[in-house]
Amino acid sequence: MKAAVVSGLGQAPLYGDFPDPAAAEGANLISVTASAISHLARGRASGAHYSAENQFPFVAGIDGVGRLADGARVYFLLPKAPNGAFAERTLVSREQCLPLPDSLDDVTAAALANPGMSSAAAFRRGRLVAGEIVLVNGATGSSGRLAVQIAKRLGAKKVIATGRNIAALATLGADATIPLVADPEAQQRSFRDAFAAGGVDVVVDYLWGASAEGLLTVAAKVGASRPLRFVQVGSMSGGEIKLPSALLRSAPIELMGSGLGSVSNEGLKASIAEVFRLAATGGLTIATRTLPLSEFAAAWALDDSAARTVVTIGA
């Protein structure tokens, strides 16, 4: 069969031939129709992500949409190695498959699943309650845009969005926006104003780095009387920050991560199901572009910040 195959550490997936998966007890053979390129898929393919297995060769891709032998449409997550999602066929544990709503097309489902899962799982980790105030740090990417939409639909009283792309911030539908700027003092003033104007209950952070440091510092000083759940999801601005121990001792800040390992498989599946439910009722939107599997190299090279790249595979 045709697939996007990773042959060695640090090598990009290449379109080529790969053995068909063999049937296995407790697993579904799936004819793949669509799979989106995600940061997680890239990280696992390159070996950089902490969950990468690095047993070569293997097929890239961590999730997608396809058909079972009886024609049922399913979303699938984490195929059994060495199989992956960017292939004509894959093998997935039955418990890692979810039925799709009839009103949700394959491409949209594939595009929504991973970023929507990360957002919905973060709010589950952060125990968001209707009526609370949410700040999404790094809201102009696919996950951040969905986080703003999901927070609103989960009943957040107010959603504050931060990002470097000022033009994109204006289109997110957030109640308030904070541009991320290079001037640390100006940035701190913006964060202080946000915390002073009603406080913040939950931060969902896709960036880490300097903006996360600034938010935690302001939360400890300005919002010290109000508990804050800070949920760390991504590290687009760096993998490390300076975090003084006194900061966590001096304020009711609960710092937690959300991702593979910190969220159970059941939690991930529940988050995806919630995303599909919201999307099926017209509650979520996401920009997409599509390319066929035969043009995988071109799809892999595209920047995913403006739209999700979905690789289409079968009918």
The structural domains of the chain, with segments of one domain joined by +, span 2-112+285-312, 127-257
> Nearest to residue 76, comparing CAs of 58, 88, 93?
93
Domain 2-112+285-312 shares a fold with domain 127-257:
yes
Contacts of 87 (CB under 8 A, 6+ apart): 1, 2, 3, 4, 18, 32, 59, 61, 293, 313
Per-residue pLDDT, averaged over 235-252, amounts to 89
User: Residues 2-19: what's their mean pLDDT?
Assistant: 93
3-state secondary structure of 209: helix
Tens-digit pLDDT profile for residues 57-78: 999 999 999 999 999 999 999 9
Mean pLDDT over 131-149 rounds to 93
Contacts of 290 (CB under 8 A, 6+ apart): 34, 107, 309, 310, 311, 312
Q: Class of the 127-257 domain?
A: alpha beta
The yes-or-no verdict on residue 160 having pLDDT over 70 is yes
* 173, 112, 43, 234: CA torsion to nearest 10: 30
Residue 147 · residue 119 · CB < 8 Å: yes
Fold annotation for 2-112+285-312: Quinone Oxidoreductase; Chain A, domain 1 (3.90.180)
- Asked if residue 1 lies in contact with residue 88, where contact means CB atoms within 8 angstroms, the answer is yes
Beta strands in the chain (DSSP E): 2-6, 14-17, 27-36, 58-59, 63-67, 73-77, 89-93, 97-99, 133-137, 158-163, 176-179, 202-205, 228-232, 253-257, 288-292, 308-312
User: pLDDT by residue (tens digit) across 206-215?
Assistant: 999 999 999 9
Spatial contact of 142 and 109, defined as CB atoms under 8 Å apart: no
CB 65 within 8 A of CB 125: no
Q: Position of tokens 């696919």?
A: 142
Model confidence band, residue 257 (pLDDT cutoffs 50, 70, 90): very high
Q: Report the alpha-carbon distance of residue 127 to residue 203 in Å, rounded.
A: 11
Please answer whether residues 230 and 255 qualify as being in contact, where contact means their C-beta atoms are separated by less than 8 angstroms: yes
